[in-house]
Structure 1
Amino acid sequence: MNMKKSLGSWLMRSIQAQRGFTLIELMVTLAVVAIVATIAIPAMGDMITRNRTTAAFNELQGLIGFARSESAKRPAEPVLLCASNDSAKCTGETDWSVGWIIARDANGNGSVDAGETILKVIGPLPSGIKLEVKTGTNASFNSSSLALVRTGAPAGGNQVTFKMCDSFGASEARGVVLSVSGQTRSAARDSSGNREDHNNIDFKC
């Protein structure tokens, strides 16, 4: 009888000790998970933002190339690029992240009229990404539209800069410059590492 009691007491103590050890392990594990999550979640968010911006910028470069190639198909009809929040006409926004369109401007009036073909519709960019365009020698990115002539160059003989920003600001902004010859290049960096437009003015986001 005493042996049974002793054995029972030993088993209870073993179970209680095991339960206590498991609880401590659980608390330590949760603490480690919390620390890792604190470090990993912001890093994951940054990676997602960068990936979205990279995808949007790559698409932008492809669309500029598409517009340039379309401008050569019908030399008499400029190809119009403009901000559009309704996917049907130029709506005058200077923030192209609302969406934009590529269309044939048969009469060259800078708008999409009845009977003019819309070649591409680009929907709104992901939240937090902003696209703006500067044409000619104007001081700011405030252009709502531009036209390309048969060489793929901007109408009027002026350069154009497309600027894309996200939550990382000007330090990680991206840009494409469309030259008067119709060639494209990445927006250059100055000696301080800042991106510049075609007028050598630093990007601001």
Structure 2
Amino acid sequence: MQNHAGMNTHELQRGFTLVELVTAIAILAVLVALAAPSAVQAWNQAAAQRAYHAMSSSLALARVQAVSRGHAVTVCPSLNGTSCIVGGTDWSQGWIVYLDPSRSPQPKSTSDVIEMVPDLAPEISLRTSAGRHRIRYQPSGWAAGSNLRLTLCIRSTGVMHGSILLSNAGRTRVERAAAETSCSA
């Protein structure tokens, strides 16, 4: 069929029908629904790895600084990056590493702070037991006191991801949690 300009009208009609668009959108919705849970799981896994790395790096830094400087170095939870939380067991909000030659519960000045780590991703919880609120490395490299377990949990699922274990000798190791271990984060 031709119009008054001599063009075929069937050639001018381009695009998709409503049925084709609805079908494409339905397929896309199914694919997104299938991918979303694994994307959230991957995001949580990456956030947990960053938390493990940040804490392990801070503990290694504190130990090296204590040995090389010949003075105690302390790691403690901190909200503001300049002072320790008194009696704090929640490390999710950040922590500081500071020079501590006088074995003080707080840094003497901001210049004593060697490292400040800001809060972790909101989906991560990092806690210690109530018994030990700070980690003090001696010039020998030892972290005297009791052995320490920092438990890492995924808040949205309530599942424990694992722990960072610190021995009195000052050594750290990461321990993965058994599958579906619940956590009181």
TM-score range, shorter chain: 0.7 to 0.9
1:118 correspondence with 2:113: yes
Q: Alpha-carbon deviations, 1:24-79, whole Å to 9, x = none? A: 2111101101111112123212211211211221121111111111110233x211
Equivalence for 1:132: 127
Instruction: For residues 117-152 of structure 1, give each alpha carbon's deviation from its aligned partner in whole angstroms, at most 9, with x where no partner exists.
Output: 11101111111211112xxxxxx3464322111232
Partner of 2:170: 182
- SS of structure 2 residue aligned to 1:27: helix
Higher helix share: 1
- One-letter identity of the residue aligned with 2:136: A
| Contact kept in structure 2, 1:151 and 1:182, CA below 8 Å | no
2:53 pairs, out of 51, 54, 58, with 58
Does 2:135 correspond to 1:146? yes
Answering whether residue 144 of structure 2 is matched by residue 155 of structure 1, we say yes
Equivalenced residue count is: 179
What's the TM-score once normalised by structure 1's chain length? 0.74
Q: Given residue 187 of structure 1, which amino acid in structure 2 is its aligned partner?
A: E
Q: Does 1:84 align with 2:78?
A: yes
Aligned to 2:158: 169
Between the two structures, name the one with larger relative contact order (CA 8 Å, sep ≥ 6): 2
Structure 2 counterpart of 1:24, one-letter code: V
Structure 2: runs of 5+ lacking an equivalent: none
Gaps in structure 1 of 5+ consecutive residues: 1-6, 134-139, 197-201
Tell me the CA shift for residue 161 of structure 1.
Answer: 1.6
Highest Rg: 1 or 2?
1
User: RMSD of the alignment, in Å?
Assistant: 2.9
Identity %: 24
